[in-house]
């Protein structure tokens, strides 16, 4: 996992990666961040990558479990990074949840709201506002038309 991450982000250089690492100060503290910045200056990317992955994992796990029903999530094990293979496995794992999601949405009143929205004329996509965001290094631009829900 660290090798894949290094292959993607290692190319952005010390300056860009240093800005990203500096953002860890709140979670790791100044001494640890200074240590990681020193690794970057020496060209030692692997320890920085491993530390970043540990931070990411902890934040992701906390977010994933925050206010969620533990039975409402599942693990999808994949043997490949091929997107077609992964997508098929995700669909396979999600299928049993679909019936429960429809029941929960109906109980929450989303079904009636969705039906009402279908009856109304949908706004023309070209009139919806475009929101843009960049990844931490600025290399990837994400554009969303309309108001995203998450």
What tokens appear for 112 in the block?
Answer: 């009636």
Q: What is the pTM of this model?
A: 0.48
Q: Give the separation between CA 105 and CA 113, rounded to whole angstroms.
A: 10
- Look up residue 18 and give its two tokens: 């240093």
Strand, helix or coil for residue 146: coil
Which residue, among 121, 148, 139, has the nearest Cα to 11 in the 3D structure?
139
Q: How far apart are CA 147 and CA 150, in angstroms?
A: 9
Rounded to the nearest angstrom, the gap between the alpha carbon of residue 15 and the centroid of all alpha carbons in its chain is 23
Higher pLDDT, 34 or 85: 34
| 39 confidence band (pLDDT: 50, 70, 90) | very high
Pairing of strands 130-134, 141-145: antiparallel
Alpha-carbon dihedral angle through residues 58, 84, 105, 98, given to the nearest 10 degrees: -110
- pLDDT tens per residue, range 123-142: 566 667 777 777 766 667 77
Cα 78 to Cα 65, 75, 85, 92, distances in angstroms = 22, 10, 8, 12
Model confidence over 52-69: pLDDT tens digits? 899 888 888 887 777 666
Average pLDDT taken over every residue of the chain: 78
Secondary structure element (H or E) that encloses residue 142, with its range: strand 141-145
Written as six digits, the tokens of 111 are: 């079904």
E strand map for 32-115:
none
């Amino acid at each position: 996992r660290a090798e894949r991450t290094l292959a993607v982000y290692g190319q952005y250089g010390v300056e860009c990666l240093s800005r990203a690492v500096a953002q860890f100060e709140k979670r790791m503290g100044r001494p640890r961040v200074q240590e990681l910045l020193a690794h970057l200056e020496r060209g030692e990317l692997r320890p920085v990558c491993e530390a970043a992955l540990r931070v990411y994992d902890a934040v992701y796990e906390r977010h994933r479990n925050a206010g969620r029903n533990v039975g409402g999530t599942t693990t999808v094990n994949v043997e490949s990074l091929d997107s077609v293979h992964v997508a098929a496995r995700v669909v396979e794992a999600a299928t049993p949840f679909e019936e429960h999601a429809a029941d929960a949405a109906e109980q929450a009143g989303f079904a009636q709201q969705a039906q009402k929205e279908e009856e109304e004329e949908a706004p023309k996509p070209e009139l919806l506002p475009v929101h843009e965001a960049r990844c931490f290094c600025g290399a990837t631009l994400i554009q969303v038309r309309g108001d995203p829900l998450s």
